[in-house]
Chains A and B, each alone.
Chain A
Amino acid sequence: MNERDFANRIKHYLDLGAGRVDSRAATRLYEARLKALSHAAIADARVSLTGGSQSSLDDVLPRGRTLIAVIALALAVGGFSYWNALEHAAELAEVDTALLADELPIDAYLDSGFDEWLKHSSEQ
């Protein structure tokens, strides 16, 4: 008898044994199967939700809104920083121009901070 024939005869007895599983085990196997199938249904639902969202306008729109809000916020923050930097540069340019043209207002000389700056810059 070759390996396959021998295995087939063994298989016959193994099948008989599997058919005689006690009722307690059979019930537990049935319950385990139902549990697994409910898990499979949940997994299916998860897949269809994530997969289907790309084609559905209702699902896409909230994401689009969020994206637009984030882009708008980033633009606002970037714009404000840029405007702030321009203001600062303009103020400095104004002071520099006034210094070069010797047209500093009297307030500048009354400012102790400006006086201090003049001392430091003349020492250098």
Chain B
Amino acid sequence: MSDFLAAVERRAYKQALYALRDNDAALDAVQDAMLKLADKYADKPVDELPMLFQRILQNVIRDFFRRQKVRSLFSTLFSTFQGGEDSESDPLETLEAATDSNLPESPQAQVEQAQIMAAIEKEIARLPPRQREAFLMRYWEDMDIAETAAAMGCSEGSVKTHCFRAAQTLSTALRAKGIEL
């Protein structure tokens, strides 16, 4: 369990961040998902943990959106015409580099890499939620189609469709920005 959580925590945080676009909410979501996994499935075999964890994480993210919907309904009822925070700011753009082990050597290459990375993360965050979930589980978490379908609660055919559309959308959007992978 410890190794699994250590291996998955950063990717899970990023996944939550792409969906929620809020650092603290993403960290809370990952913590909730970890606690639920530990509470309910501590005795499960290790190979079942990725699917269970992804399912819990996606449910936690959906719960957050539900709560946010209710909260925003109340806030629009009680506080209209108030100047708020800068809603245009994107948390993905504020992430700092914790380690430079993966950075290319020349400064120019470093900048290019960071730009491509930011563009990809931005486009991933823009994908429709189901496409993003399927694509990330399938290709980032290396889950097979059956596991992804089980975690998403949909058919294997739907997973394939979501992945295909996500890849197409990403490819088109990156090409439009002049990024060829």
Point out residues on A near B: beta carbons under 8 Å. Answer: 1, 3-4, 6-11, 13-23, 25-26, 28-30, 32-33, 35-37, 39-40, 43-44, 47
Contact = CB atoms under 8 A, between A and B. Distances in A.
Interface in B1-42: 1-2, 5-6, 9-11, 13-14, 23, 27, 30-31, 34-35, 37-40, 42
Contacts of A37: 1-2, 5, 38
A13 B98 contact: no
Nearest to B26: A25
Contacts of A35: 31, 34-35
B52 interface: no
Interface in B130-155: 135-136, 138-140
Interface residues of B, number: 45
A32 B31 contact: yes
A25 B30 CA distance: 11
A13 B117 contact: yes
A7 B135 CA distance: 8
Please list the 9 inter-chain residue pairs (A to B) with the smallest Cβ-Cβ separation, ordered nearest first.
Answer: A36-B34, A32-B31, A7-B139, A40-B38, A40-B42, A36-B38, A39-B38, A9-B181, A18-B10
